[in-house]
Chains A and B, each alone.
Chain A
Amino acid sequence: MTALIIVAVIVVLLILALVFMYNRLVRDRNRVDNAWSQIDVQLKRRYDLIPNLVETVKGYAAHEKETFEQVTQARNQAMNAQGAHDQANAENVLEGALKSLFAVAEAYPDLKANQNFLNLQEELTSTEDRIAYARQFFNDSALAFNTRIQSFPANIMAGMFHFTEREYFEADPESTGPVQVEF
């Protein structure tokens, strides 16, 4: 009788542990998914800010047409990019174009004193920050998730229920690679 009770208790505890493990995996996976969609939310925010910015700068520096076109084109490309790789590339181009737009603005003191421009600059800088932070959080969550599904004993359950590893968001290799110096 006692043996039966002990066995029953062990079985119940085992089942509870499995349920707990499974729920934990689901929670971690959802966090990764949510982190990924956070990046999109922030990218969208940046797309929305750009037309305003271009209009404001245009009012002061109308003849810098080329820069405006570059920014607008880069924005459209980024918005229409398909797949993670293409999108990362398009975002990099857009970031570069925005940098040159702000460089252009440096030459116009009136523009730099414009309250609207300053607000937009603050919004855009913080959106860039948020994009970076969202990517950082995605990578942190993906790291935690990947470690969990690779560790024993969760890896057995992960295999059974098809929890698959997530790829990390990686910075553009061109911008992080070693600097080439030529003489």
Chain B
Amino acid sequence: MAGFVVLIVGVVTAFDIAFGYGPVWIVVAFVVAMLLTWGAYFKSDAIALRASRARPASREEFARYHNLVDGLCIAGGLEKPRLYIVDDPAPNAFATGRNPKHAALAVTTGLLEKMNRVELEGVLAHELSHVKNYDILVSTIAVTMVGVVALLADLGFRMMWLGGGRRRSNNSGGAAGGLLLVFALIMLVLAPIIARIMQFAVSRQRELLADASGVQLTRYPPGLISALEKLKEDQTVVRSATKATAQLWIESPLDEEEGHKQAKMNRLFQTHPPLEERIRILEEM
């Protein structure tokens, strides 16, 4: 969070140096990004559920799913979320909804088939923890911040193409002014990328937190561990998952090469920590 503030301040400074425009643009960018993402935030559950083609899970058909969630909600003193099913052979699950009152869980039919009772319980506890920890809110704020930075940087480039405003460097002049300008431009180029990396870092952190609080609900780490082991071995990929919904799922639904060695650079852009690492941390509990 503080990182985002620093980043935005950095971009603002870069702006100021390059074009002589001040905080006015920042306010504009912030308001635009806020409106865009917070509109989506209030519809987040409906959008995510529709995007992954989820259908409501009836109690008759999915008794075990309902029963396990009932139990976990009692354990955490939570309201029961709405439950959905995604018809897909790949085992995966996600939680959505802006607060515990508007929460929804979705699991794939593959998950229900491949997991036994304790494993399924571990996964559901992880998802419920996302709800309990307000992770949708956290990721919405992260996305908003990324949006602000991206908009600002974009604005900066447009202004440059258009002959770039009233340059202040003319007055300050000299080599120092020129160097400062170069720095400012580099900042504008890098800022959106840095913002993305930070957003993914937040997402990875929340995943680890959800693992930990999930175990706090079940008091049984082996359940989630063995579920993650199964996810590691399984290579099927959720069909209806897109980049936009990737950070919602319990296991990153996109990368097929999970388990292979990933380049350090690539790891910066992952929404989830590697399964090996998550399992290792859980085993230490």
Contacts and interface: CB of A to CB of B under 8 A. Distances in A.
B76 A137 contact: yes
Contact of A129 (B63, B71, B76, B77): B71
Contacts of A133: 71-72, 74-75
Contact of B77 (A35, A123, A125): A35
B64 A122 contact: yes
B219 interface: yes
B70 A130 contact: yes
A95 to B, nearest CB: 16
Mostly, the A contact residues are helix
Q: Is the interface of B mostly helix, strand, loop or mixed?
A: helix
Contacts of B68: 126, 129
B242 interface: no
A136 interface: yes
Interface residues of B, number: 13
Given A35-B77, A137-B77, A123 B219 contact: no
Contacts of B75: 133-134, 136-137
B116 interface: no
Interface string A126-152: 100110011011001100000000000
Nearest to B67: A126
Interface string A106-135: 000000000000010011011001100110
Q: Which of B64, B67, B68, B76 has the most CB of A within 10 A?
A: B67
A87 interface: no
A46 interface: no
Contacts of B63: 119, 122-123
A134 B74 contact: yes
Contact of B64 (A38, A126, A134, A140): A126
A31 B76 CA distance: 12
Interface string B73-88: 0111100000000000
Contacts of A31: 77
Most buried by A among B68, B75, B76: B75
Interface of A: 31, 35, 38, 42, 119, 122-123, 125-126, 129-130, 133-134, 136-137, 140-141
